[in-house]
Amino acid sequence: MHLFKEGRAPFLEFLRNLTPQALILSIAMLSGHNLQWSCCHVENTWETILSAVFFMIWVAAVWANSSLFVQRYLISVERIDRVSKRLGQRKVTGFRHLQMLLTYAWRYRRVVFLELVFVGAVLEIGMTAVVIFGVTNSQALAKAING
């Protein structure tokens, strides 16, 4: 299986980058935990801006980490890399690109298909864990601060 060969480094790098994402999400939620969501209040402006900036940083970090993991993990699978490059030359991107890769893998390389499913599962489980830890940590910190 590819995970035990060339895929080890991208997998471990992805896992290593989950901790900063949880920290950034915690900071974003903690910075906005006193916001009044009922209406627009001028006194909430700086807290809102700070919270929004940290949320944007978190979204960028999630996107960067996930896309790097998929890119580096799949590049080391030569057949998928070749098909992916051909699709890129034909300007096939996004969800359609992923769908065509999965279809190719299912038809010609079932092991590669299972690895693609594994990559998707790792991304989903990793992001779910980040959200859970970010939310629980920010709640615990807010309770500690507010007493």
Q: Provide the pLDDT confidence category of residue 129 given band limits of 50, 70 and 90.
A: very high
Q: Residue 2's pLDDT is what?
A: 65
Host H or E run for residue 96: helix 94-108
As a whole number of angstroms, the distance between CA 40 and CA 47 comes to 12
Report whether 74 contacts 119 (CB < 8 A): yes
As a whole number of angstroms, the distance between CA 62 and CA 17 comes to 9
Q: Provide the pLDDT confidence category of residue 37 given band limits of 50, 70 and 90.
A: low
Pairwise pLDDT comparison (138 vs 33), residue with the higher score: 138
Per-residue model confidence as pLDDT tens digits over 41-73:
777 788 888 989 999 999 999 988 888 887 777
As a whole number of angstroms, the distance between CA 50 and CA 18 comes to 22
Is residue 34 predicted with pLDDT exceeding 70?
yes
As a whole number of angstroms, the distance between CA 35 and CA 22 comes to 21
The CA-CA-CA angle for residues 145, 125, 12, to 5°, reads: 95
